[in-house]
Amino acid sequence: MNVSEEVRDEAYGPSPTPAARASAAAAAADVLRRLTEHPPFKSGRIGVLIVNLGTPEGTDYWSMRRYLKEFLSDQRVIEAPRALWLLILQIILLRRPTAKGRDYASIWNTERDEGPLKTITRAQSDKLAGALKSLSPDIDVDWAMRYGLPRIGDRLAALQAQGCDRILVVPLYPQYCAATTATVGDKVFDALKTMRWQPTIRIAAPWYDDPAYIEALARSTRDGLAKLDFEPEVVLASFHGIPQAYFEKGDPYYCHCAKTTRLLAAELGWEEGRLRMTFQSRFGPGEWLRPYTDETVRELAASGVRRIAVITPGFAADCLETLEEIGVENAGYFEEAGGERFAAIPCLNDSADGMAALEAVVRRELGGWAG
């Protein structure tokens, strides 16, 4: 070995032997082969999946039965002892599908042959996709239902197939509740269990006190009231109820609803008592959050109040609970008790105000991912 070889070896190590070079070449070839043989996988995009409660696929008995069975079998929704509840559920499913089918038929979108919740949620998804183009061209927006179709797992898989390796899931419930928001998360993580390569997931935080949401509610309420040919003496903010026991176990839902109501009244500049919080949609004999909407409308009419309006701030889109339960059933209770004028103000839906609030929430939750 001469002096120059000694200097080179000191600096870089000895030259590889022919065998070593052959081994390195074989290893490189193996790496290349594995890379080229790996199944194709798109990546680099961001997905946004908005999720609402759900709707049956039809108003017939069997469509309603499938939907109600899935919904009422969720242990987040009904926290009764499992074996006992499943027995009770079989009894409920004998008659309830027929009655609820009649209710759904009264609000059904016959042109599309679907529930209005599905029509509106699809429109929200389409409009959100257009609004987010200015944030990034690499965002795909989709929608799903917690119960019924389209399923959360299917739409997560579809977003992943489009190259979304980061996905924001937005439960369309401004106020957090285990029976709504949490059960969406449950289904998302169930889907992740089946994936070899899981996308990174974010679950949007509730937005019950978000300024954009409160401002949208205030504008929507003012506009809705301005379209009436009477002035309500009282306006109710009716939220979907939950059993009192869920509150006692630590669910923050009541507190979120109360804060939404307080902030909305302040934004509207209304005096105390003009906007009253109530809870609707009781199910079963147990105690639920009070005051009840149906009892309140009767009591108001009996006390001499002749004109009321009802808003439903906890619903992102009109559905059976707003269109039929409030707009028909509770209107009937009010009139039967002596009331004269009743109005159900539409939800935010895919209106300009509704989309502004939803877009603000999504842009906030995409922080660090886009924009």
Q: What is the CATH number of the domain that holds 222?
A: 3.40.50.1400
Please check whether residues 190 and 67 belong to one and the same domain.
yes
Please check whether residues 62 and 115 belong to one and the same domain.
yes
Please check whether residues 76 and 136 belong to one and the same domain.
yes
pLDDT of 42 reads: 80
Express each pLDDT in 248-295 by its tens digit.
999 999 999 999 999 999 999 999 889 999 999 999 889 999 999 999
pLDDT of 192 reads: 97
Residue 138 φ/ψ, nearest 5 degrees: -100, 25
Q: How far apart are CA 141 and CA 123, in angstroms?
A: 11
**Do residues 322 and 315 touch, judged by C-beta distance below 8 A?**
yes
**Do residues 307 and 231 touch, judged by C-beta distance below 8 A?**
yes
Please check whether residues 58 and 203 belong to one and the same domain.
yes
Q: Which pair of structure tokens corresponds to residue 314?
A: 């906890």
Is residue 13 domain-resident?
Answer: yes
Annotated binding site: 240, 321
Q: How far is CA 151 from CA 15, 58, 158, 266, in A?
A: 60, 16, 11, 39
Please check whether residues 60 and 120 belong to one and the same domain.
yes
pLDDT of 291 reads: 98
Q: Which pair of structure tokens corresponds to residue 328?
A: 């028909």
pLDDT of 18 reads: 75
- Residue 43 CB neighbour total at 10 angstroms: 11
Annotated binding site for Fe(2+): 240, 321
- Residue 340 CB neighbour total at 10 angstroms: 12
Please check whether residues 224 and 260 belong to one and the same domain.
yes
Please check whether residues 105 and 247 belong to one and the same domain.
no
The residue segments making up the domain with residue 20 are: 3-37
DSSP codes of every residue in 131-144: HGGGT-TTEEEEEE
pTM reported for the whole predicted model: 0.90
Is residue 371 domain-resident?
Answer: no
How large is the angle between the packed helices 211-226 and 352-365, nearest 10 degrees? 170
| 363 exposure class (CB count in 10 Å sphere: 0-12, 13-18, 19+) | middle
pLDDT of 367 reads: 95
Phi/psi-derived region of residue 200, left when phi > 0, alpha when psi is between -120 and 50, beta in every other case: beta
DSSP codes of every residue in 233-249: SEEEEEEE--BHHHHHT
Sign of CA dihedral 353, 359, 362, 368: negative
pLDDT of 207 reads: 98
Is residue 236 domain-resident?
Answer: yes
DSSP codes of every residue in 320-331: HIIIIIIIIIIH
Which regions of the chain are under pLDDT 70?
1-16, 20, 28-32, 34-35, 38, 41
Please check whether residues 260 and 319 belong to one and the same domain.
yes
Helix residue ranges per DSSP H, the chain: 3-12, 18-37, 61-72, 82-107, 116-131, 152-161, 183-192, 211-226, 244-248, 253-268, 293-302, 320, 331-336, 352-365
| 36 exposure class (CB count in 10 Å sphere: 0-12, 13-18, 19+) | exposed
Is residue 370 domain-resident?
Answer: no
Please check whether residues 51 and 179 belong to one and the same domain.
yes
Please check whether residues 264 and 331 belong to one and the same domain.
yes
Q: Which pair of structure tokens corresponds to residue 276?
A: 């009253």
Residue 118 φ/ψ, nearest 5 degrees: -70, -40
CA atoms within 13 A of residue 261's CA, in its CB half-sphere: 23
Q: Which pair of structure tokens corresponds to residue 71?
A: 């919904």
User: CA angle, corner 339, sides to 333 and 344, nearest 5?
Assistant: 65
Phi/psi-derived region of residue 368, left when phi > 0, alpha when psi is between -120 and 50, beta in every other case: left
User: How many domains does the chain contain in total?
Assistant: 3
Is residue 187 domain-resident?
Answer: yes
Q: How far is CA 143 from CA 79, 199, 297, in A?
A: 27, 17, 35
Please check whether residues 200 and 217 belong to one and the same domain.
no
Q: How far apart are CA 189 and CA 196, in angstroms?
A: 13
Please check whether residues 80 and 22 belong to one and the same domain.
no
